[in-house]
Chain A
Amino acid sequence: MMRHLAIAALACGLALPAVAQTPSTLRIGIADDADALDPTLSRTYVGRIIFAGLCDKLFDIDAKLNVVPQLATGYEWTDPQTLVIKLRDGVTFHDGEKFDSAAVKTTLERHQTMQGSTRRGEISAIDRIETPDPLTVRLVLKSASSPLVVQFADRSGMIMSPKSLAALGNDFGKAPVCTGPFKFAERVPQDRIVLDRFDAYWNKSAINFARVVYRPIVDATVRLANLQAGAIDFGERFQPSDVPEISKDRRITLVQNAGLGFTGLTFNMTNGTRPRTAMMSDARVRQAFALSIDRAVINQVVYNAVHTVNAHFVAPDSPFFDPAIKPIPRDVARAKALLAAAGVKTPLTVELLLPNSADLRQTGEVIQSMAAEAGFDVKLRTTEFVTALAASDAGDYEVFLIGWSGRADADGNVYSFTHTGPPNLNAPGYSNKEVDGWLNQARAISGIPERRALYTKVAAQLMQDLPRMYLYTPNNIFAMSTKVSGFVPVPDGMVRLQGMSITP
């Protein structure tokens, strides 16, 4: 029967040719479609994955989160408010224009001034940009800001061709022109983004295929089926539930590493006009809640133990990570004692807001079950993601289960979340003068050990005050055909094409 069907399909000419791959093309399945391919306007994680092939940055980060040169050859803080960046010679844009300090200035000024720029906040520390010579850029800052260098290892550091910017203006994203290993060829929204090898790339020897095609396939199960069927060669952001299936398939390889972000519980303290509850006003109640939760159980039950249990706001691979900041083991007796000391009547009703995704819902249910043993009656309030964000910003929540994709510098994972300020990321409405001081000091110095010591102080204080309880660092889960080699996972989850190759 199967044979007859196969013959029928072949007779129609519909079969295998559609599945076969073009040699020297790498097809990457991405978890959603990118937004505008304009580094100034780009807002999505997936957009950054495309840019990894399209736009080189001044700096990059390596697997250990060290800042390494890319379009720049090095940098120096001549004083805490002056950053001098030396640029690589012999680099050209996809349109043939020469890369120099004037191009860097044009790009950074566009980030600062363009309407709708999402880069403005990232480089807001810059007061003025000077170009003493074609291969030197001097940035004079309004105030000391050592995390600025890491911003240039992401979209803020992607330099665009001034000529193309002038020609395309706001439509730059329709045909972006940068200095990356691949140049823009075609985009069919929701279907594919195609990039072709750039023959004049400065690091040409690291590129081993002629074309890369990014295909948005939203459903992880379907993405995996596409990989198994050979319709794509590489896939990103698979689910922990996919890991057993990937592991047992000999045609594909599983690659995992700890990401940069965190998933945790955000406790509302002062945000919004919601009536104050014991959870909001008393740190002992929050501590009791935290003590009732076993992070390892959540990881095991919901995520097949794929993620990395963590109580720090930075990932374990980060140079700012301090192993002294570790999860406090679950202790129901102590949790009950703390609740008694706080004088609350149990069961204490707590509302847990969570976005409507299967894994977060399950996490909420596990938390609900564990917290019940300590005397908490957790009510789950599940809403669609944007609605949950709006509720969080407005302070219309008590406890919120939410994640953050993470930044390479510790500052990006903690400053806006805990420094006294607007409630967009500081959703708890947390304010602690000491913490503010340590965070500001960490921005003003550039030595890693000194900054790590300050972030350790911050992390320890946050474990006391508990505006947020960090549960785990989500792992990046990639899978690729065994024909693909040379992929080096970096905690930011990007797919760097340098060094990768595919056998036909």
Chain B
Amino acid sequence: MRGHLGVRFAQVIPTLLLVSIMVFCLQQLMPGDPALVLAGEERDPEVLEQIRRELKLDQPLVMQYFYWITNVLQGDLGFSWRIRQPVTELVATKLPVTLQLASMAFVIAVFIGVPMGVLSAVKKNTVWDYLANGIGLAGLSTPNFWLGIMLILLVSVHLGWLPPSGYVPLSEDWRQSLATTIMPAFVLGNAISAVLMRHTRSAMLTALQQDYVRTARAKGVSETRVVIKHALRNALVPVVTLGALELGTLLSGAVLTEQVFSIPGFGKMIVDAVFNRDYPVVQGVVLVTATVYVMLNLIADVLYVMINPRLRGA
């Protein structure tokens, strides 16, 4: 097991290095000169030239990458060209916001998706199964931004129950914090819950046909115990893996959701940065997101081993 995890740890470094190169190169493919955005509406040629010099945009790409990665390795992600604040500072402020949103969305997704998947498998081909599948399909097919705007109009404008946008940190006021994030978290968790439901259903159907389930039933174990203790526990192994992958989807899904609900998190920051060609912010955010994603998958590997005892000896 240690060997397996050791190899997985060793893979992290080249993966992140590759990500850094890809991020750097891909954003160069974005059309439009960042200096054009930064020079303001007048686009004075003298100002343009000065900006290119100041931001080293006039230097070869390799040199630009070298300057950036050298600083990154020292913990400095550069500074935002647009608002002139260190990217590290921005990331440190924004990451907890998105992580809170993603965690809440994930919890919502698990609490909706897993029970619905179990119910659907246990009550296969009944009205419960069809209902759960219908809800799942609706969840998968509804675009986040549309659902977000509809919820704002219904819950905030017409009913006046929750604030339509904004964010209050948990540390400042937990009730306000939940009030501002519950709606976006639901929107974000909605699609994931559908995916989790379908995978749980499929895994449960397989598990319920296994010999050990039949044996348990033959031994007189109650049906609830059979479903939860025997079938669900085994069915959860692929679901946990999927959950880790979907956490990455949550981070990317936050891009639209944060934009709609004006949540000052990672997603909103990267959208603004892309439109304003704020390269250091784009690079910093993508690199940090990739790191979080890779680490989550590593955690999933550890959990995988913990849930499935057969892997412990590997």
Residues of A within 8 A of B (CB): 2, 5-6, 9, 12-19, 32-36, 38, 41, 43-45, 115-118, 120-121, 170-171, 173-174, 188-192, 215-219, 221-222, 225-226, 228-231, 383-387, 389-390, 393, 404-405, 416, 422, 424-425
Contacts and interface: CB of A to CB of B under 8 A. Distances in A.
B161 A190 contact: no
20 contacts: A12-B175, A16-B160, A18-B176, A44-B40, A116-B54, A120-B46, A189-B93, A190-B268, A191-B262, A218-B262, A229-B152, A229-B157, A231-B166, A383-B31, A387-B31, A387-B32, A390-B31, A393-B43, A424-B43, A424-B48
Given A115-B54, A229-B164, A189 B156 contact: no
A295 B85 CA distance: 44
Nearest to A191: B264
B279 to A, nearest CB: 13
Contact of A9 (B44, B90, B149, B161): B161
Contacts of B152: 222, 225, 229
B182 interface: yes
B165 interface: yes
Nearest to A14: B179
Given A191-B167, A424-B44, A16 B36 contact: no
Cβ-closest 7 pairs across A and B: A386-B32, A191-B264, A43-B40, A387-B31, A18-B179, A14-B179, A190-B264
A19 B161 CA distance: 8
Contact of B42 (A45, A218, A386, A425): A425
Nearest to B153: A225
Given A35-B83, A43-B39, A216-B262, A424 B45 contact: yes
B38 interface: yes
Contacts of B264: 188-191
A172 to B, nearest CB: 10
Contact of A115 (B37, B43, B50, B166): B50
Nearest to A230: B160
Contacts of A190: 94, 262, 264, 268-269, 272
B277 interface: yes
Interface in B16-51: 31-33, 36-48, 50-51
B156 A17 contact: no
Given A222-B260, A424-B45, A390 B36 contact: yes
A189 B82 CA distance: 11
A12 B175 CA distance: 8
B127 interface: no
A416 B264 CA distance: 38
A501 to B, nearest CB: 24
B178 interface: yes
Given A217-B262, A405-B41, A35 B164 contact: no
B162 A14 contact: yes
Q: Among the interface residues A14, A41, A215, A228, which one has the most CB atoms of the partner chain B within 10 A? A: A14
B159 interface: yes
Contacts of A12: 175, 178
B84 interface: yes
Nearest to A261: B41
A386 B32 CA distance: 5
A47 B162 CA distance: 29
Interface in B140-161: 149, 152-153, 156-157, 159-161
B259 interface: yes
Nearest to A383: B31
A231 B31 contact: no
A188 to B, nearest CB: 6
Given A215-B262, A222-B164, A231-B163, A13 B44 contact: no
B88 interface: no
A116 B272 CA distance: 21
Contacts of B182: 14
A226 B165 contact: yes
Contacts of A173: 83-84
A14 B175 CA distance: 6
B180 interface: yes
Contacts of A5: 161
A409 to B, nearest CB: 14
A425 B43 contact: yes
B160 A404 contact: no
A120 B107 CA distance: 53
Contacts of B277: 386
A151 to B, nearest CB: 12
Given A191-B264, A222-B149, A422-B45, A36 B83 contact: yes
B163 to A, nearest CB: 4
Given A189-B85, A231-B164, 12 more contacts: A14-B175, A18-B168, A19-B162, A120-B44, A190-B272, A217-B165, A225-B152, A229-B164, A385-B32, A386-B36, A424-B42, A424-B45
A121 B83 contact: no
B24 to A, nearest CB: 19
B238 to A, nearest CB: 34
A217 B264 CA distance: 10
A225 B62 CA distance: 47
Contacts of A6: 159, 161
Nearest to B152: A225
Given A118-B47, A120-B47, A9 B36 contact: no
A33 B264 CA distance: 11
A416 B44 CA distance: 10
B39 A118 contact: yes
A189 B276 CA distance: 14
A219 B39 CA distance: 24
B46 to A, nearest CB: 7
Contacts of A120: 44, 46-47
A171 B259 CA distance: 28
